[in-house]
Amino acid sequence: MGWLFKFLHSSIGKKVQMALTGLLLCGFLVTHLLGNLFLYKGQDAYNHYANALAENPLIPLAELGLVVLFVVHIVMAIWTRIENRQARPTAYVLYSSSGGRTWGSATMIFSGFLLLVFLIVHLKTFRFQADRSDLYSMVIHAFRRPAYSLFYVIAMGALALHLSHGFQAGFQTLGAEHPKYTPWIKRFGLAFAVVIAVGFASMPVLLGLCAGGGH
């Protein structure tokens, strides 16, 4: 197992861990968005979905897995960035100002930090509540608070930026790079980023602010 430990602590090993956890988190985003779409079906449908999740005995294990994915992804991202800066501080500055970077790649650390703050606020608002018997009303009430909804939409903009680069970068790190397929991966990554971000951002806008009637 020594070779595995050595690989995981190498520069490429850290990038592989960041790529794998990032792509797995993309899968979580898809399932989470699909579940949240029950909000559009109304109170009974969404609460039934939320209660079914809460009663699933595998959910605690899945939540533990998500915690591990998030922690590894964040730690590897920070560790890799620090090592890159230490290894080539001058070259890094030159690279940052070059024309090959996108808004997504240039803002990864900032979008990632904003998403971390959002995750903490999001969990505090919905997950760690004593009474979750009517989660639909809890969500709608939160979405009708302009400050929270605005923060939510801004965070989804950061998510779009993060995914626009992170999705294709993850495949590139894992070796899925080819002149024929890479452009398609990039296009799919951009489309994925937009669909996920717009899907989530539509909820506080349509179900909260627009449907709230000023309440």
Q: Enumerate the domain spans of the chain.
A: 2-209
3-state SS, the chain, equals CHHHHHHHCCHHHHHHHHHHHHHHHHHHHHHHHHHHHHHHHCHHHHHHHHHHHHHCCCHHHHHHHHHHHHHHHHHHHHHHHHHHHHHCHHHHHHHHCCCCCCHHHHCHHHHHHHHHHHHHHHHHHHHCCCCCCCHHHHHHHHHCCHHHHHHHHHHHHHHHHHHHHHHHHHHHHCCCCCCCCHHHHHHHHHHHHHHHHHHHHHHHHHHHHCCCCCC
**Is 34's pLDDT higher than 90?**
yes
Pick the CATH number of 2-209 from 1.10.10, 3.80.10, 2.60.40, 1.20.1300: 1.20.1300
- Predicted local distance difference test score (pLDDT) of residue 100: 56
Q: Which of these, 178, 172, 177, 157, lies nearest to 111 by C-alpha position?
A: 157
Can you tell me the distance from the alpha carbon of 114 to that of 197, in angstroms, rounded to the nearest whole number?
A: 14
Angle at 61 between CA 57 and CA 62, to 5 degrees: 100
The arithmetic mean of pLDDT across residues 9-25, rounded, is: 93
> Which range among 61-65, 68-72, 84-88 shows the weakest confidence by mean pLDDT?
84-88
- Predicted local distance difference test score (pLDDT) of residue 78: 92
**Is 19's pLDDT higher than 80?**
yes
pLDDT band at residue 185, thresholds of 50, 70 and 90? very high
The arithmetic mean of pLDDT across residues 68-87, rounded, is: 90
**Is 215's pLDDT higher than 80?**
no
The arithmetic mean of pLDDT across residues 165-189, rounded, is: 89
- Name the percent of the chain lying above pLDDT 90: 69
Q: Which of these, 174, 124, 133, 112, lies nearest to 48 by C-alpha position?
A: 133
- Name the percent of the chain lying above pLDDT 70: 91
The arithmetic mean of pLDDT across residues 128-151, rounded, is: 91
Residue 81, Cβ density class (10 Å: 0-12 exposed, 13-18 middle, ≥19 buried): middle
pLDDT band at residue 117, thresholds of 50, 70 and 90? very high
- Predicted local distance difference test score (pLDDT) of residue 212: 66
For the chain, what is the mean pLDDT? 89
- Predicted local distance difference test score (pLDDT) of residue 91: 47
- Predicted local distance difference test score (pLDDT) of residue 88: 66
The arithmetic mean of pLDDT across residues 154-168, rounded, is: 96
